Chains A and B, each alone.
Chain A
């Protein structure tokens, strides 16, 4: 006979109110498999620096404009928003293409310089780097990747951005990239809140976990 716990196990929803005395008993602390088994550590690390204790915040720096490298920041940002985390994406340099109307629907994937490219149908088949510069190869590789993304029901870059904005994510353009590319605000994806300087970015990322892609 299995023992029945009178105190329910409640997942960590971040903002969950504990059941009050009138209702069920208070919940037991729950640790997910990612939280480690040790006792909670006191605030502040060993070096004595005070730990940031506000709500979790994440900033992704999207610096690349290839189709394959567009997705890491978008997918992780989307996941962060679903976890109730304040989320920002800063688009800089080649990453600016992700929010430039002219390019964002037409990002490309190239095998040139990518030694980790394999044919899904023939994973052991060697793909010499020289093939990457064969005319039409980038188009072929791009179409192949788009099909794989479609098969996995991964939305397009534009649709990912729409989802992120609807979920409360913040998109920022890099001033220097904006100027270098000779862009106007009307050239940008509508969800970009503003074009900001490096200093603005430093202020924005205070207390955040910053992830460079």
Chain B
């Protein structure tokens, strides 16, 4: 597994670039990752989603799918597509420092 220098420190990632170590992530890193994912500024709305993903992960050891973010997190699907345009599930999990979701739905 490669290690990249992001935000001035070594970060472990997989071959696609997703973070592999939960605790290497922090808010400052998220803003850098957001920039890489084409999101210039993380608003409060972005942060709410990212916090949900971060809080949901440890118990399940699996990143929430879009469906779970809406059904359990209570977020609106259209809103997610607006906040993380294009590939929302990949973008939000990348910025949250989590693996990309595995679930089909």
Binding site for B on A (CB under 8 A): 2-17, 19, 23-24, 27, 30, 32, 75, 78-79, 82-84, 153-155, 160, 163, 166-168
Contacts and interface: CB of A to CB of B under 8 A. Distances in A.
Contacts of A78: 67, 105
Given A9-B4, A11-B100, A153-B67, 10 more contacts: A5-B4, A6-B5, A8-B5, A9-B13, A11-B16, A30-B15, A79-B104, A160-B105, A163-B70, A166-B76
Interface residues of B, number: 35
B57 interface: no
Contacts of B17: 8-11, 30
B67 to A, nearest CB: 7
Interface of B: 2-6, 10, 13, 15-18, 35-38, 66-68, 70-71, 76-78, 81, 85-91, 94, 100, 104-105
Contacts of B13: 8-9
Prevailing SS type, chain B contact patch = mixed
A125 to B, nearest CB: 27
Contacts of B70: 163
Nearest to B36: A10
10 contacts: A3-B3, A8-B4, A8-B17, A10-B36, A17-B38, A19-B36, A75-B105, A153-B67, A153-B68, A166-B77
A4 B37 CA distance: 21
A14 B5 contact: no
A2 B76 CA distance: 42
B77 A75 contact: no
